[in-house]
Amino acid sequence: MPKYERIVILSGAGLSAESGLSTFRDKDGIWARHKIEDVATPQAFARDPERVLEFYNTRRKGAGGVKPNAAHEALARLESEHPGDVLTVTQNIDPLHEMAGTRRLIHMHGEILKILCNHCGAREPWEDDLSTDLACRICGEKGGMRPDVVWFGEMPYEMEEISRALGACDLFISVGTSGTVYPAAGFVMEARGAGAHTVELNLEPSEGASMFAETIHGPATQVVPKYVETLLG
Ligand code: BV8
């Protein structure tokens, strides 16, 4: 009988750091080079769409050539070998979890390799650059094609399913996130409210570290495979 039946994993940019993708709030992170209000809000897109699209064109190119690391692979192994239920919720917009084999996955902040039409809501996979003169293939409108990512002030995706899973889990594992952005930063409290054991696996204590019953610090490619081993051992 496994110790835990229903596991929810929350991942952030720190999980993909060792695959070569920048985090947001580390000293050389994305928000050290760009201001959120210039590139990651609906107002920024309305004000200067080309600047926002250029910011994501650069990140889409970066996401194209990277590979999952040992931490992504360990989380995919946990999902496939754990006899109970495992749901992975990621704040990351890169495709590394699915490339490592994770199946039950929610991209709560969207995906860099998808685009969304602001006019009609149509979505499609997209790997090239985006510009304002691209017309939507469904409604034909121009100027509304944006990356399918959740900007600040927008509602993250699948919040109902995430809340249901948090309310029913008995283990909540947070990997590689600073615990700065809500609602994701509040998930640990929802899991605690459900009586779950809560574990933070992060390079260093996050803003929310004190809310976790257990914290293990170190690079994800070291601490995550080891922790998964103890769960499956
Ligand atoms: C919402 C977009 C409401 C895609 C992102 C005013 C108005 C509206 C909302 C707010 C407001 N004031 C505050 C809010 C809430 C706001 C928020 O939380 N703001 C913060 C800054 C205070 N949240 C929102 O706006 C959310 N929406 O509230 O909507 C609403 C309600 C009803 C109806 C409609 C709307 C939306 C939040 C989503 C925003 N979009 N990304 C993109 O460009 O990527 S957020 C962005 O931050 C990314 O998604 C990222 O994933 C996320 C969190 O960052 P982390 O992943 O944690 O990365 P970070 O760099 O911070 O940390 C990395 C960690 O890894 C560090 O701890 C580091 O130590 C560790 N690490 C580094 N290397 C390693 C490592 N760990 C292990 N191994 C390593 N090798």
Of 15, 21, 23, the one to substitute when testing ligand 1's pocket (max ligand atoms within 8 A of C-beta) is 23
Catalytic residues: 109
Task: Please identify, by atom number, the ligand 1 atom nearest to the C-alpha of residue 18.
Answer: 80
Q: pTM (2 decimals)?
A: 0.97
Q: What is the pLDDT of residue 55?
A: 97
Using the predicted structure, report yes or no on whether residue 4 has a pLDDT greater than 80: yes
The minimum-distance atom of ligand 1 relative to the CA of 110 is: 4
What does DSSP say about strands 171-175 and 6-11: parallel, antiparallel, or unpaired? parallel
Question: For ligand 1, what atom is nearest to the CA of residue 55?
Answer: 43
Return left, alpha or beta for 34; rule: phi > 0 is left, psi -120 to 50 is alpha, else beta. beta
Task: Count the residues in the chain.
Answer: 233
What 3-state DSSP class applies to 114? Answer: strand
Strands 110-117 and 123-125: antiparallel
For residues 165 and 138, is the Cβ–Cβ distance under 8 A? no
Structure confidence at residue 233 (pLDDT): 86
Cis peptide bond upstream of 183, omega within 30: yes
By CB atoms closer than 10 A (0-12, 13-18, 19+), residue 85 is middle
Task: Determine the pLDDT at residue 2.
Answer: 80
Q: Ligand 1 pocket check: which of 24, 204, 212 to mutate, most ligand atoms within 8 Å of Cβ?
A: 24
Residue 195 backbone class (left: φ over 0; alpha: ψ -120 to 50; beta: rest): left
Mean pLDDT of all residues belonging to the chain: 97
Nearest CA to ligand 1 atom 12: 153
3 state DSSP class of 126: coil
